[in-house]
Amino acid sequence: MGERSDFDLVVIGSGPGGYRAAVLGALRGLAVAIVERGVWGGTCLNRGCVPKKDWYHTARLVAGNRRYAARGLRGQLEPDLDAAWRHQRTVVETVRASYVDYLRRLGVRAFAGEARFVAADEIAVGDERLGARHAIVATGSRPFVPPWTPLVPGRVLTTDELFDAPPPPGARVGVVGSGVVGTEMAFILAMLGKDVVWLTQSAPLSRSRFSASARRFLGAALAAHGVAPRTGSRPERCVADDRGVTLHLPGGATERVDWLLLGAGRLPNVEGLGLQRAGVELGEDGFVAVDDEMRTSAPHVFAIGDCADAAMTSNHALVEAAIAVANIVAPGSRKRSDIMIPEVVYSAAELARLGLSEEEAEAMGLEPALGFSGFEASPAALAADEPQGFVRVVADHDTGRLLGAEAVGPNAGEWLQVVGPHAGSDEALAALARAAWNHPSFAEEILNAVETLASKWGLGPAVFGPPAGARE
C-alpha cells in the first residue's frame, strides 16, 4: 500500500471535461491530480469527436467531386478508408502528446489506473492513495450494445472498435442508429467509399432539438449523395460469421453486410467507482445526480460530462468543467445553464444550434420573434457552391432578448457560436447589429437575420443605435 498523497482536487477521467477541469484547477493555484484508466484524452480525443472530425473533413472533400469540374478542377478524388484511418490516428496522437505535456507543465500529477473511492475524501488508484479535498467525476460514457447483437471482432463494432484498430475489410457496411452517431457515420462512411446500408427505427435526428426545416434540409442533402435511412428497420437479430453479418429485420426481411457499425446510444460510466462510499447518489436515469453547481449529494464531490448529463456532448462537458472548478474555488459563484451550449451535427449538411427553438420558447410562455436569412443570394455561399443553407435567430418579442439560433451550412458550428456570448441579454440584437462583420462571409448572415428580425417585429432604431452612454 503506497503512502497517501493529498490534493486540493482529484479529477477522475481525462476526456474533454476532465482535462479542462484539471487545467483550470491548476491555473487557479490548486494542487491537482488526474486519473485515467484507459487512453489519455478519453472518448472524444481517441474514439469520438476528434477522429470523426478528421474523417468528416475528408468526406466533405470527396462529396465535392460532383462540383469540381464546374469550378475548373479536373479529375476525381478517390477515397481510401485505410489511409483515412491512419491520418486520424496521426492527428489523435499529436493532440494527445500536446495534451499530456501541457498537464505536466502545469504541475498536474497524472495517475494511470482504475480510480475508486475508499472513503469520502480518499481515492485509491492501484496501491496509490490520493487524498481529495475536492473531487470531480468525469468518467464519460460507453457505447450501448443492443441486446439483439453481441460485439464480434471485425464484424460487429461500435465507434470504439472502429477508431481503435484499422477498419475491417469489405465494401458493404451496415450502420444502425438514427441519432447523431448514425447520422454522421452513415454519410462519412459512404463518402469514404463504402456501400452503406443505414438501418433506423425513426427518421434521422427525430429526437433532437433541431428544427423540422433543418432536418428536412439534411435529408435532402443526404439523398443527393445517395445516402438514405431505411426507417422502421431496426434489426431484431444479428448473426455474424467468417464472411460477414446477416441482419434479421422486421417483417422477416434480411440484409447481408460485410460488417456492422452500431450507433445505438451511450451509457454513463458510473460502475466500480465506489461512489456510495463518498456519499454520491445516482439519479433514476442512471447518471450521477448533480445540482446547478455540478455538485453531487456529497458537497465536496462534483460530476461533469457524460456521466452526469444526458446531453452527452463534449461541449457540455467543457462548460460543466468550468462551472465545477469555479464553485470549488468560490462556492456558489457560477450556476449551470444549458441554454446556449452549441450542438453541432457533421453530416451531408452541417447543422448547428444553441438556445431555444420557436416551439420551446412558446412552451415556456414566451412570444418568439423569428429572424431568417437564406443563402440563395449570399456571395460566400454561392462562391462555395452552398446556396441552400440558412440562419434563424429567435428572440423574445416583448423584450428583444436573444433566445436561440440555428444554422445550416458549411462550418456552421464554427461561426454560429458568435451568438453564444450574447445569451440572455436584452441588448443582444443591438450588439449583433452594431458589430462589424467580414464580407463576404457565412457569418454575416447572422447580421442579415438580426436585421430581418428587427424590421419584422418593429424593434425600431434602438436596435441599431449607438451603445448606451455613447454620444449621438
Residues with catalytic annotation? 439
Q: Which residues pair with 404 in a beta bridge?
A: 355, 394
Question: What is the C-alpha to C-alpha distance for residues 317 and 44, in angstroms, rounded to an integer?
Answer: 11
Angle of CA points 275, 11, 24, to nearest 5°: 145
Backbone angles phi, psi at 11, to 5 degrees: -105, 125
CB 415 within 8 A of CB 444: no
Q: Are β-strands 350-355 and 237-241 bridged in parallel, bridged antiparallel, or unpaired?
A: unpaired
Residue 253, SS3 per DSSP: coil
The cell for 345 is 451535427
CB 33 within 8 A of CB 93: no
What does DSSP assign to residue 469? Answer: T
What does DSSP assign to residue 384? Answer: T
Backbone dihedral region for residue 84 (phi beyond 0: left; psi -120 to 50: alpha; all else: beta): alpha
CB 319 within 8 A of CB 192: no
